[in-house]
Structure 1
Amino acid sequence: MAGERRVVITGIGVTAPGGIGTKAFWELLTAGRTATRTITLFDASGFRSRVAAECDFDPAAEGLSPQEIRRMDRAAQFGVVCAREALAGSGLEEGDVAPERIGVSIGSAVGCTTGLEEEYVVLSDGGRRWLVDPAYAARHLYGYMVPSTMACEVAWAAGAEGPVSLISTGCTAGLDAVGNGCQLIWTGRADVVIAGATDAPLSPITAACFDAIKATSPNNDDPAHASRPFDAHRDGFVLGEGAAVFVLEEREAARRRGAHVYAEIAGFANRSNAYHMTGLKPDGREMAEAIRQAMWWGRLDPADIDYVNAHGSGTRQNDRHETAAFKRALGRRAYEVPVSSIKSMVGHSLGAIGSIEVAACALAIEHQVVPPTANLHNRDPECDLDYVPLTAREHPIDSVLSVGSGFGGFQTAMVIRRDRAA
């Protein structure tokens, strides 16, 4: 178990569809408003699915310099902007913590996809040349090919000289990166970790990949209602983009400096199903095991869980798989606790979404409000839990379970709770 060192969240930064910044993000969730729309970032007219949850992001307006904008891919820009917001909100100042005791843990599923695709289009003359001329390459192209440069950018922004890592475990990367950051503090390797995830996957190559396996929703005539987790008429997930980054601190140090604590990361675990690249077993056994292990780590029982933030992608096999996992891990409590998916509002930003959901969980504890599952009008009979349809709900929340499921068979669970005395 975590032992004597406990990890708390003292700063949150969010860049999400529907609003930039933590305040705008929470307002969108509690309003039950969807940020899914017809794709504008590229010409999607030839694709099966032409809807996405895009961020209205202006890097200059968010404080990035022309040099930073030129150097960084869109995903790296998201991450740095979020890190700066989280640091500012945490109240940490230069000199409060030795630089070598500050770590960074950033997650991403697809790295610098936007920058890589844009450069390939230029180098290949729009795909017409197999043999590309490197003379046309941007000088920062190498950085796009090495995703760890995103973690380095966050480290530079934070002045972090401790352990720095890039976690790439597909759609669970956002949870895994935060979990890795917690482990750095639990084990004494760092006192502060800037942890979170970022992805900007909205590009033709990503759209083509998910079109090929028919994973994304083709509901192009009604983008606002295309993401429908747990609904009987759901037809796939909606791609998104965004980032969330946190300041994680050792609890006693945060308390000594009078920091505001949003929540404690109490437990974390991950498993793999060793089964199929995209398929899921219907019994949810591996996710259930991750849930049980995360609760054990946090010394929690099913009765202690007050809200479940579901992966809730809106694909038929995922929603049924995790519903089964909740029943398997929580027993009777699964039918009593509210469950919801914010992907119904902000889409599925691949590796970033796990961290964005951790932000939603911390804010749910802070405000004692459960975000809704938007667009849930006709519940799938096989998804028979309380999915908080359409409208946010005031609800006493002490402990939250958040889960993620990713291609490759990755299953991750995290328990987040209100900060309380030992």
Structure 2
Amino acid sequence: MNRRVVITGMGVLAPGGTGTKAFWKLLTEGRTATRRISLFDPSPFRSQVAAEIDFDGAEHGLKPQETRRMDRATQLAVVATREAMTDSGLEDREFDPHRTGVTVGSAVGATMGLEQEYRVVSNDGDSWLVDHEYAVPHLYNHLVPSSIATEVAWSVGAEGAAAVVSAGCTSGLDSVGYACDLIREGTTDVMIAGATDAPISPITSACFDAIKATTPRNDDPEHASRPFDGTRSGFVLGEGAAMFVLEDLESARRRGATVYAEIAGYASRCNAFHMTGLRADGREMAEAVRIALNEGGLDPTDIDYVNAHGSGTKQNDRHETAAFKRSLGEHAYRVPVSSIKSMVGHSLGAIGSVEIAASALAIDNDVVPPTANLHEPDPECDLDYVPLTAREQRTRAVLTVGSGFGGFQSAMVLTGADRRSS
């Protein structure tokens, strides 16, 4: 079955504003949403900055029982799903629940809920033997990541396949890639797919402090995230969620749906090398890019924009630059590349889906978002990284990539739905 999968609905909750419109406005204006951490006292930590969302579930229609039951990451996913369903036009139409599935990516699941409840039952860590009776009744939901997919499925009445994809920082790409496979093989007709993470907590900060992956640039939070810049010193932790309505192109056209983009190709590879280390030549990411292009029937020269992983660590930025040169050849020097993590931080498993949203919006608006804070390019990162200011240009095919701890490397190609013949 050769079904073409398209995005017909989108919901985004990202730092700097809730909702897809606010997200795109922030990106195109080149503004940053990084600041000193306010969700807890960060003073004991090496890195004290993050990209937070000003989010209150109740303000987005979640009931007290729902906010009590759901971790923050789950709340973000459910609210983003509601926006995506409204945007798709499926909300008020009949769809077969048994042919509608859910995939949600998440790297760290209910981190905030688990840490909060451990502090309660252990008296802030003073008690080795904890009393479970002090925990919230729904603690099990925090422990089991599958509860995120469950809540999303309940929120839309989806009764088809439901799964959580957890592959570190590529989870948001891999979740959508898996959803596409289910539609293409005919298992489902509609997929609610995306990713969510809300990891800004003391335990997460301590973990990244230990390996010095996050930036210590605490005196200038707004300019702390500096992908591809020679003065960069690590990534800025973030949070967020992006959810999509995916369906096959023919059904979308029959019901007159708006199509943001077609997911033309996807591939994932693992370097089988090191938990946090990357080979300098970018071979595994380049291979993922090659397979994704082949699946979409595209040549490297067809790519109009590359949405980079661009975390802001020296190792990743140089590895990624090498991967683009390896996979795109001479075209790598001509195509614009940018990292939105410079503006919204790195939301771990969620960021892949957030970047898919940025890629689809780049196609829909013919605009390439910039890399903020890029003033002193690293000589080893010598591509066109679109510094500081968004660029208007025809954008019909976008490559977006992800790199994650464990050696995961994923790539996805999005195109305008009219780019390929039926």
TM-score in terms of structure 1 length: 0.99
Q: Tell me what 2:228 maps to.
A: 230
Counterpart in the other structure of 2:197: 199
- Of residues 149, 154, 157 in structure 1, which corresponds to 2:155? 157
Tell me how far 1:137 sits from its aligned partner.
1.1
Q: Percent identity?
A: 70
Deviations 1:344-379 (A, max 9, x none): 000000000000000000000010000000000000
For structure 1, the residue ranges without an aligned partner over 5 or more in a row are: none
TM-score by length of 2: 0.99
Q: How does 1:8-87 map to 2 (within 5 A)?
A: 8-87=6-85
Are the structure 2 counterparts of residues 28 and 95 from structure 1 closer, same or farther at C-alpha, using a change threshold of 3 Å? closer
Q: Report the more deviating stretch, 58-67 or 271-280.
A: 58-67
Show the counterpart of 1:252: 250
Instruction: Please list, as runs of the form range in 1=range in 2, the aligned pairs for 1:2-401 lying within 5 A after superposition.
Output: 4-93=2-91, 96-401=94-399
> Quick one: which amino acid aligns to residue 297 of structure 1?
E
* Higher deviation after alignment, 91-100 or 299-308: 91-100
Amino acid at match of 1:105: T
Q: Distance in 2 between matches of 1:273 and 1:19?
A: 36
Alpha-carbon offset, residue 323 of structure 1:
0.3
CA distance in 2, matches of 1:251, 1:60: 35
For residue 413 of structure 2, the aligned residue among 393, 412, 415 is 415
Equivalent-residue separation in structure 2 for 1:66 and 1:301 (angstroms): 51
- CA distance in structure 1 between the aligned counterparts of 2:295 and 2:185, rounded to whole angstroms: 14
What is the root-mean-square deviation in Å for CA atoms of aligned residues?
A: 0.7
Aligned equivalents of 1:96, 1:302: Cα separation in 2 = 40
Cα offsets for 1:64-87 (capped at 9, x unmatched): 111111110000000000000000
SS for the counterpart of 1:378 is: coil
Local SS of the residue matching 2:58: coil
User: What is the rounded CA distance, in whole Å, between the counterparts of 1:155 and 1:72 in structure 2?
Assistant: 14
**Cα deviations by residue, 1:278-317 (Å, 9 ceiling, x for unpaired):** 0000000000000000000000000100000000000000
Q: CA deviation at 1:93?
A: 3.5
Take 2:127 and 2:211, find their aligned partners in 1: how far apart are those partners? 27
Cα drift, residue 96 of structure 1: 2.7
What secondary structure does 2:26 align onto? helix
Q: Distance in 2 between matches of 1:313 and 1:331?
A: 22
Which runs of structure 1 show a deviation greater than 6 angstroms over 4 or more consecutive aligned residues? none
Deviations for 1:395-414, whole angstroms, at most 9, x for unmatched residues?
11110000000000000000
Q: Name the aligned partner's letter for residue 409 of structure 1.
A: G
**Using the alignment, how far apart are the partners of 2:107 and 2:411 within structure 1?**
17
CA 1:343–1:139 in 2, change beyond 3 Å: closer, same or farther?
Answer: same
* Residues in 1 aligned to 2:391 and 2:324: alpha-carbon distance in whole angstroms: 20
* CA offset digits 1:20-75 (Å, max 9, x no partner): 00000000000000000000000110000000000000111111111111110000
In 2, the alpha carbon distance for the partners of 1:94 and 1:179 equals 27
CA distance in 2: counterparts of 1:413 and 1:282, whole angstroms? 18
Deviations 1:99-157, CA, capped at 9 Å, x for gaps: 00001000000000000000000000010011000111110100000001000000001
Deviation, structure 1 residue 4? 2.2
CA distance, structure 2, for counterparts of residue 157 and residue 416 of structure 1: 27
Shift of residue 261, structure 1, vs aligned partner: 0.4
The count of corresponding residues between Structure 1 and Structure 2 is 420
Distance 1:331 1:149 in 2: 43
Question: Distance between the aligned counterparts of 2:290 and 2:390, measured in 1?
Answer: 27
CA deviation after TM superposition for structure 1 residue 158, in Å: 1.2
CA distance, structure 1, for counterparts of residue 327 and residue 248 of structure 2: 29
What letter corresponds to residue 117 of structure 1 in structure 2?
E
Three-state SS of the structure 1 residue aligned to 2:275 is: coil
Q: Secondary structure at the match of 1:77?
A: helix
Distance 1:200 1:281 in 2: 29
CA distance in 2, matches of 1:294, 1:100: 29
Q: Give the stretch that moved more between structures: 94-103 or 371-380.
A: 94-103
Give the residue type in structure 2 aligned to 1:268. Answer: Y
C-alpha displacement of 1:97: 1.8
Which secondary structure does the structure 2 equivalent of 1:170 belong to? coil
